[in-house]
Amino acid sequence: MRDHASPPVLVTDALPAQIAHQLRARLINGTLAPGSKLNERVLCEELNVSRTPLREAIRKLAAQGLLVIEPRRGTFVPTPEPEVVSQTFDVIATLEGLSAQLAAQHIDASGLQTLHNLQARMESAFEKRDLQVYSEANSEVHDLVSRYASNAVLRQTWCELNDRIHVLRYRTNQNPSRWAQALDEHRKMIALFEQGDANELRRLFEAHIREKRDALLEQLKQPAV
């Protein structure tokens, strides 16, 4: 019997992107846990979509390294390897530190206002314990800093690496004390941008990312529940 929802002509770019967004949220909050296998039938029912856009969304996330497609076995959430995590976060820390240092020299009043607006969203999300909303606003902060660095090569390199660890960055905020600490660090970042303290911004951003690295590595040591 022909599946009325499966013809490619009905699948727009927007729908797979929306599905990918929802799957990414589940990766962040741990609903899709490392090592777990995706059940396409269940996901289609939960998201109220057909398999065609779901599989397109899965391919998008697999291309970013967030999922692994194994022929004849299915799709799995990869289990982070501590050494790779450590090395990747070390590089990201250096890139973000440099981005912050450069951004301090280029950010304008509009950029500062955007940072304040995003901080307000993060504060509200923290009060509501809404990790998804928090992670989205947080991601926008780091993206804004990358753009204001005004260095195309630096931004391209950062974007490529950030796609690989985007989900992992926010898993550490499942720990309430770590989440509160991260939020306080963001308050200090805004103050430093207003002061134009480029060198201290570089130090703080590098420390911020390395704190996430250490928290994540500690999480990875814990036995799976």
Q: What is the pLDDT of residues 156-192, one digit of tens each?
A: 999 988 877 877 777 777 788 889 999 999 999 999 9
This prediction's pTM: 0.76
- Within the chain, all domains assigned CATH 1.20.120.530 are found at 82-221
CATH 3.90.550.10 fits 8-76, yes or no: no
Helix (H) or strand (E) holding 76: strand 74-76
For residue 11, pLDDT over 70 is answered with: no
Q: Which of 79-93, 172-186, 197-211 has the highest mean pLDDT?
A: 197-211
Q: What is the pLDDT of residue 4?
A: 41
Question: What is the three-class DSSP state of 68?
Answer: strand
For residue 48, pLDDT over 80 is answered with: yes
Looking at domain 82-221, which CATH architecture does it have?
A: Up-down Bundle (1.20)
Q: What is the pLDDT of residue 5?
A: 40
d(CA 135, CA 30): 13
d(CA 77, CA 92): 22
- Within the chain, all domains assigned CATH 1.10.10.10 are found at 8-76
d(CA 222, CA 24): 22
Q: What is the pLDDT of residue 9?
A: 35
- The maximal CA–CA distance of the chain, rounded, in angstroms, is 66
